[in-house]
């Protein structure tokens, strides 16, 4: 797996699915007694006209993309989170398939995953 393939996979199976799942959740909340906040969101969303629903979907897409982008910047080392005083600390991401291991992100030394998004 290449960094580009990884980002494509995250885009389709995380970012896009988060949007679909969120819209599905507010369209018809599951369960016999869904959470009151979810019921309120559902009432609001279902009362929107087609243009309003399209705008709500766009907002969900923007939010999901922003979250994925932020996570990728964390993996890339572009967004720093200080857990200690060690300036050399960074995240590494590997894809391991049987005997093969491919480094997908290695802090500032690896490919910029967020730029691939």
Q: Distance between alpha carbon 115 and the CA centroid of its chain, in Å?
A: 14
| Range(s) of the domain holding residue 14 | 3-116
Domains identified in the chain, total number: 1
How many Å apart are CA 8 and CA 27, to the nearest integer?
27
Name the DSSP letter for residue 1: -
User: What's the confidence (pLDDT) of residue 32?
Assistant: 93
Q: Flag whether the pTM goes above 0.85.
A: no
What are the backbone angles phi and psi of residue 23, rounded to the nearest 5°? -65, -45
How many Å apart are CA 96 and CA 35, to the nearest integer?
39
Q: What is the pLDDT of residues 32-58, one digit of tens each?
A: 999 999 999 999 999 999 999 999 999
Residue 113, class by beta-carbon neighbours within 10 Å (0-12 exposed, 13-18 middle, 19+ buried)? buried
Q: What is the pLDDT of residues 94-111, one digit of tens each?
A: 889 888 888 887 666 666
């Amino acid at each position: 797996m290449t960094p580009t393939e990884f980002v494509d996979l995250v885009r389709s199976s995380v970012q896009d699915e988060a949007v679909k799942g969120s819209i599905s959740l507010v369209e018809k909340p599951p369960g016999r007694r869904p959470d009151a906040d979810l019921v309120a969101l559902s009432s609001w969303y279902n009362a929107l006209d087609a243009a309003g629903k399209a705008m709500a979907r766009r907002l969900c897409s923007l939010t999901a993309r922003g979250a994925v982008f932020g996570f990728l910047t964390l993996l890339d080392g572009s967004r720093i989170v200080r857990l200690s005083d060690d300036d050399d600390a960074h995240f590494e991401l590997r894809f391991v398939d049987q005997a093969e291991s491919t480094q997908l992100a290695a802090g500032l030394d690896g490919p910029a995953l967020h730029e691939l998004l």
